[in-house]
Structures are given as structure tokens and as C-alpha cells.
Amino acid sequence: MSPRSIEVLTPEMVRLDVELAEPGARVGAFCLDGAIIIAGGTILTMIISWFFNVLGIGGGALAAVIMMLWFILRNFYFIGFELGWGGRTPGKKLSSLRVIAADGGALTADQIYARNLTREIEIFLPLLALTAPQVLLPEAPVWVWVATGCWALFIGLLPFVGRHSARLGDLIAGTAVIQDPKDALRPDISAEDSRVDRAGEGGFSFTHRQLDLYGAHELQVLEDVLRRHEENPSSELLDLISEKIVRKIGWHQKPQEMNTERFLRAFYAAQRGRLEHRLVLGERREHKVS
Amino acid sequence: MGDSVLRSYRFRRERQSSWRELETLMKGAEANGLQSLDSDQLFRLPVLYRAALSSLSVARAISLDKNVVSYLSSLATQAYAFVYGTRDSFRSSFGGFFLDRYPALVWSMRAWVATAMITLVLGTAGGSFLTQRNSDYFYSLVSEEMAGGRSPLSTDEELIEVLKSPEIQNLDSLGAFSSFLFTHNARIGLSCFSIGIAGGIPVLALVFANGLTLGAFAGIHAARGLSFEFWAWVLPHGVTELLAVCLCAAAGLQLGAAVLFPGRRRRLDSLVLQGRRAATVVLGTIPLFMIAALIEGVFRQLILDDGIRYLVAALTAITWLVYFTPVSLNWRLARLSDDGDDRS
């Protein structure tokens, strides 16, 4: 489990390890959403200004309507999309991010309202406090403005310092933003070479003593190597690993005398069969015997 | 192949078609919306999701194929987000939140709301009493900026001028404008919430002080026999705004109670739990503050007749009374919020 992942327990009581979104990815998604909002808001502002001009109303009333418009737009854009698209806005969808309930329950509409309306306090108030503190706290002395500014900065930077890189809104609403997992199902390596303890096509046959030397960790490293070999073949690496294995288990052939890929596949299949067999019997071996 | 095939590979071969089916269904729904699935597919979806979860559990126990386990974990996470992510329509959830859940939540905190209201009324009465006894108190209770030129030395005409004159020019500058959204009382409300963590007493002090200020204003008007006109000026937006302040204060008190009396929970857990409820209450007051600001900024400038001002004040009062009490909720919801009260 990487440090950036959290465990959630689904309502079916199955544990899922989900990977939290990188702060950078969240900023990226937010910028995309922001750009869309600004573009839409600018167009609407122009239309409304033109409309008010035609009617001959201006000044405060126009400013009030436009300020309301931006408030509604920036809040309801996020709420609307996260509700309708299962926790994703266009920016999040493009960045493969998603909002889930951090406790593994169902994501409720209330949580979405809470996490988004908090943004108003999180981003808008700090900005106001930093740029124009006299508006927010008219009578306060300078040190109060400084304190407010620091507090505002802390709230704004929370996603970058916190352990779970959660926004204040996420903490209040009990939500987490996760990276959409995208692991594809690939062919089983053992599919063609899954005969255990028997002379297979390659003529490789391993004894229990030979197979008990390695653990699950080494098996999965071997899996990685073989899968990477499928994508971009590198026989030197296979030779190197074969040599190590040959020496460790005392194999009767030298790597040069055989097809190392077939050897490793056969060894992988036999090794997995052996370890899985022991797993069923309740013995889990993580690492090799040294 | 037969028996010699690995157990974990056999497991995978038997189940992978259902994993693929789930993948295809989700991909289709992502691309073309949930409506693109027919009723059979909709019925299959949760079944396939549970099958994937069970496959994941089995694979974790018996399979050492890393790819299969990570694939299943990924598939299960996606399906979980898909099945349990909201698919509420905007309208129904919005309606559900503001029509049912929000008033029910507030109703469940009614004891705190009442406490805040009583404190506010006591403060107002106190401020009014003090100012009428000795008008010098006005200066210590009301800051110069808030007074807006009014003081015990103002003439009757000056006081009436403020009560009856349109102040539209006030809305022109941007500074005045931000205060349109973040009015004095909205700030009081937010402070109430944030200092609630300190145990509740400061919240009551803040509400009481706010009442004193209001009372001081009422006092100088009462001294001239302008009470009727003064309350006509305050109440149309004041009912909504003061209610919102009381709701924020109630949220703050609830937080304070969570810290002081965590019950069987750990203090921090209790704070997080109540914090979520309290934050929801505070967030719901944003529309209230906006409505109050609209009444104050627009209606009060246009309507100068005292009778109509009282009528609007009464209408808002009745609206909120109906909205926040079980009169408008069905009995089931009301009982649900009663349960919530027992828990808290």
C-alpha cells in the first residue's frame, strides 16, 4: 500500500485500497473547471450588462446581479456536475479524478453540497482577506489582518500539507478525491506453462525443494519482469535473472544452454502453483529464504 | 490442460467474463449516460458489482497473480464509485436538501436555537433598557462606523431621515458591495460558528453583545417615541437575518456541547460528527443571509410605508416558522429529527 492510498470499507464489508489524488492533479482539475466557469461567466456577464444597458439600469443593481450570478455559477457548477456525474466535474473527468465518501459509504447529495459550499469560505474568504482585509474586518487593527491572512493561507494550503491532502471541505463533508484506477486485465503468464511438477513443453521440471526457496514477493517481481518483457523485450535482463535463479536452486543447465524466457515462464508457473498450494493450506511465504 | 492448470488461473477463467461484462456496462454508461442501459443491464449492474467484490476477496486469498488482484481492486473501486456515487438529479436533491433535510436538521437543534434566540432577546432588552436610562451607554455599545451618524444627540429629523430615505447610492462602490454579501451580521454568524469550538460560552457572549447593540439603537429611538418606525425599519430583513445569526450560534453551541459533553464517544470523534451537522446548518444560512441582504438592499429602499414593512416582516416570520417547524414536514421526518435530538 503506497502512502498516498487510503482504505475504505464498502457497505458489503470489503476493503478497497484507493489511491488519493495528487495535489497537483487536483489543482490542474480545478484550473480546468475554473477556466470553464470564467468563460461561461464572462459571456453571461456581457449578456446581462448589455441587457441592463438597454433597460437603462446600471450601477449598484447591475453589480449586485452580476455578483449573485458569479456566486451561483461557481457553486452550482461544481454541485451540479458532481451530483449528476457521480462525483466528477469536467475538469475531474479529464484528470481521471473522482469524489467518493471517505468512509466507504454511499456518496450523498448533502456531502456534495457541504464540500462545495465550503469552497466559498476556503478560497473566496482567504482571497478577500489577503487582498482587501479592510472590507472583511473594517475596524480591526493591522495585526488582526495579518493573523487573518495567515489563517487564510493555512486553510488554502491545507491540501498540500495535510497527510491525506484533503481540503477543508473534504474534511467537513467526509469525502475524499481519488485517482480513478485503471489497471487492465492482462493475459495470465502461467496460461501456457501452468503444469506443475511435470515435464512441460519446455521440458522444465522443478522439485518442491527448488520451489520452496522463493516467496510471493520474488514471484511478483518475476511477474513484472516477464510482463515488461512482453512490451519491450530485453533478453539480457532475462539472462541475468535466469543466472541468479539457476545458481540459487541448483539447476542442472546453464542459462546459455536454454531458452531463458521459456525457463522463466515455466519457473514462474511452477513457483506460483507451489506457493498458491501452500497459501490454500494457510502458509503464506512473503520472501525468499536467504 | 485439465487438472494441471493452476487453481488461480481456473478461478480467473471461470469468472473473467462477468468482470468483462461489468467493465463494458460501466464504459457504456460513462460514455452515453445511465439512460443508455436497458432494464436488464441495470438489474445486472449491482449483481456484477458484488460478484467483482467477492472475486476480489477470493483473489486476495488464493491468487498470487499480482495483475489479477490489482485489476480486480481497480474494477471493484470503479464499480463501487459507480454504484454508490450519487446519481441524484440536481432538482430532486436540491429540493430534498432544502425542503426536508435542512429544516429537519435545524429542528433537531431547536433547543440550541431557542437558547440563542432568548440570549439575543435578553441582550436587546438589556441594551434598550440601559440606553434609555442613560444615553451615554450608546457610545460604548455601538461603534462609530455602525452608528452611521446616529447618536443620542441626533435630532428626530435626522433619525427619521435614516429610517425613511433610500440609500441606493450606498450600493455603488465595490467596498459597500462586498459588505452587501458579508454584512455585519453574516460575519457575526460565522464567528459564532468558529468560536463554538471553545466551549459555547463565547458564542452566547457574542450573541448577547449583538443584542446589546441592537437594543442600544432601539433605545435611542424609543426615547424619541420612534419605536414603531424603528422596528418597521429593522424587522423586514431583521427577522431573517437575526434568525440566521441564531442558527449559526446554535451550530456553535452544538459544537461547544460536542467538546464539553462528548458522551460515550471520544472527544475528537464527537467534534467531527457534530461538526458536520453544525457546518451544514451554517452553510444553509448562506441563502438566509442573502435573502436578508436583498430585502435590506432593495425592498427597504423602495418601500417606505411602515404598514407594508410590518406586513413583510410578519410574512417572513410566518414563512420561516412554517419552514423550520414540523408543520411543513411530514410526521415521519419530524420523528426522525426527534431521534437525532436524542442522539445529540
Tens-place pLDDT, residues B285-340: 878 887 887 777 667 777 778 888 899 999 999 999 888 887 655 544 544 544 44
DSSP state of A251: -
pLDDT at A130: 66
Does the structure show a pLDDT above 80 at B165? no
Q: Does B16 touch chain A (CB under 8 A)?
A: yes
Residue B285's closest CA among B250, B236, B234, B329? B250
Query: What is the SS3 assignment for chain B?
Result: CHHHCCHHHHHHHHHHHHHHHHHHHHHHHHHHCHHHCCHHHHHHHHHHHHHHHHHHHHHHHHCCCHHHHHHHHHHHHHHHHHHHCCCCCHHHHHHHHHHHHHHHHHHHCHHHHHHHHHHHHHHHHHHHHHHHHCCCHHHHHCCHHHHCCCCCCCCHHHHHHHHHCCCHHHHCCHHHHHHHHCCHHHHHHHHHHHHHHHCCHHHHHHHHHHHHHHHHHHHHHHHCCCHHHHHHHHHHHHHHHHHHHHHHHHHHHHHHHHHHCCCCCCHHHHHHHHHHHHHHHHHHHHHHHHHHHHHHHHHHHHCCCHHHHHHHHHHHHHHHHHHHCCCCCCHHHHHHHHHHHHHC
Q: For B259-284, what is each residue's pLDDT tens digit? A: 788 888 877 777 777 777 887 788 78
Could you tell me the pLDDT band of residue B148, with boundaries at 50, 70 and 90?
Answer: low
All three cell numbers of A99: 469524489
Does the structure show a pLDDT above 80 at A126? no
Phi, psi (rounded to 5 degrees) for A175: -120, 165
Question: How far, in Å, CA of B70 to CA of B67, rounded?
Answer: 5
Q: For B105-124, what is each residue's pLDDT tens digit? A: 888 889 999 999 999 999 99
B 23-52 residues with CB < 8 A to A: 50
Report CB contact under 8 Å: A100, B89. Answer: no
B 288-307 residues with CB < 8 A to A: 290, 297-298
Q: What is the mean pLDDT of chain B?
A: 79
All three cell numbers of B6: 493452476
In one-letter notation, the amino acid at residue A5 is: S
Q: How many CA atoms lie within 13 A of A39 on its CB side?
A: 6
Higher model confidence: residue A95 or residue A121? A95
ipTM: 0.83
CA of B320 to nearest chain A CA: how many angstroms apart?
A: 21
pTM: 0.71
Does the structure show a pLDDT above 50 at B65? yes
Interface probe with A: pick from B20, B48, B62, B64, most Cβ of A within 10 Å: B64
A 225-244 residues with CB < 8 A to B: 227
Please name the member of A105, A109, A276 whose beta carbon is closest to the beta carbon of B88: A109
Q: Does A67 touch chain B (CB under 8 A)?
A: yes
| Region of poorest pLDDT, from A139-143, A175-179, A239-243, B223-227 | A139-143
Higher model confidence: residue A1 or residue A236? A236
Cα B198 to chain center, whole Å? 20
Contacting residues of A for B87, CB less than 8 Å apart? 84, 86
All three cell numbers of A5: 492510498
Report CB contact under 8 Å: A108, B57. Answer: no
CB contact at 8 A, A158 and A167:
yes
Which DSSP string do the residues of B262-277 spell out, in sequence order?
Answer: -TTS-HHHHHHHHHHH
Q: For A182-206, what is each residue's pLDDT tens digit? A: 888 888 887 664 444 444 445 678 8
Does the structure show a pLDDT above 80 at B149? no
Q: For A42-82, what is each residue's pLDDT tens digit? A: 999 999 888 888 877 666 667 767 777 887 788 789 988 88
Residue given cell 480467473 in the structure block: B12
DSSP state of A18: E
Cα A148 to chain center, whole Å? 33
Question: How far, in Å, CA of A73 to CA of B289, rounded?
Answer: 18
Could you tell me the pLDDT band of residue B55, with boundaries at 50, 70 and 90?
Answer: very high
In one-letter notation, the amino acid at residue A202 is: G
Question: What percentage of chain B exceeds 90 in pLDDT?
Answer: 22
Phi, psi (rounded to 5 degrees) for A18: -110, 145
Mean pLDDT of B159-180: 55
Interface probe with A: pick from B24, B70, B77, B191, most Cβ of A within 10 Å: B77
Nearest C-alpha in A relative to B76? A16
| Region of poorest pLDDT, from A34-38, A115-119, A155-159, A228-232 | A155-159
Question: How far, in Å, CA of B184 to CA of A135, rounded?
Answer: 11
Q: Does B187 touch chain A (CB under 8 A)?
A: yes
Higher model confidence: residue A174 or residue B57? B57
CA of B225 to nearest chain A CA: how many angstroms apart?
A: 31
Helix or strand holding residue A198 (H, E): none
Give exposure, A65-83, as e/b (b: 16+ Cβ within 10 Å).
Answer: ebeeeeeebbbebbbbbbb
| Region of poorest pLDDT, from A85-99, A116-130, B100-114, B144-158 | A116-130
Report CB contact under 8 Å: A17, B73. Answer: yes
CB contact at 8 A, B36 and B28:
yes
Does the structure show a pLDDT above 50 at B343? no
Contacting residues of B for A139, CB less than 8 Å apart? 143, 145
Give exposure, A19-28, as e/b (b: 16+ Cβ within 10 Å).
Answer: bbbebebbeb
pLDDT at B108: 87
Question: What residues pair up with A194 in beta bridges, in sequence order?
Answer: none
Residue B188's closest CA among B198, B203, B174? B203
Residue A21's closest CA among A153, A184, A175? A175
